Amino acid sequence: MSSTLDSLPPALAKIVQRFQRATDPKRRYEQLIWYAQKLNDFPEVDKVPENKVPGCVSQVYITAVLDDGKVVFQGDSDSQLTKGLVGLLVEGLNGLTPTEIVQLTPDFIQATGLNVSLTPSRANGFYNIFKTMQKKALECKLELPN
């Protein structure tokens, strides 16, 4: 599945469009901070190695649970900008099925224009957060009864 806006899940398409309208890097950062503030509090008990995103300079944690066949993510980071990336992905991917999440390609990251605004290590971290969320969605799928 390529990530043209038409093929993206509605919530993720809306987020991509929001970032495409913000041509100024400062506005994109402000939007990321807004997503960081929207995140629910992340339980300290979930800050364990198996929930840590590998390959991130910041400390990033992601959890995923299945609720009625849909994945519900939670996440946190010790960096506001990275927390905003987590918030963006949580909002864009929550409520999708594991299959929908696993089939997504990371093209939408370029479509947001954030890869241009972010430092290379943060852009790489964004990709790693997305890949970790896909992995967790796949683990949820494996837990489903056949």
| C-alpha distances out from residue 61 to 85, 122, 141, 144, Å | 12, 15, 20, 23
Q: Grade residue 3 by pLDDT with cuts at 50, 70 and 90.
A: very low
Q: What is the mean pLDDT of residues 43-63?
A: 94
Q: Which residues contact 120 (CB under 8 A, 6 or more apart)?
A: none
Q: What is the mean pLDDT of residues 121-142?
A: 92
Please tell me which residue in 36, 56, 96, 129 is annotated as part of the active site: 56
Write down all domains in the chain, each with its CATH number in brackets. 5-143 (3.90.1010.10)
Q: Check residue 146 and give its pLDDT.
A: 58
More confident residue, 98 or 7: 98
Q: Grade residue 7 by pLDDT with cuts at 50, 70 and 90.
A: confident
Q: What is the pTM of this model?
A: 0.92
Is 56 marked active-site?
yes
Q: Check residue 117 and give its pLDDT.
A: 80
In Å, how far from its chain's centre is CA 132? 9
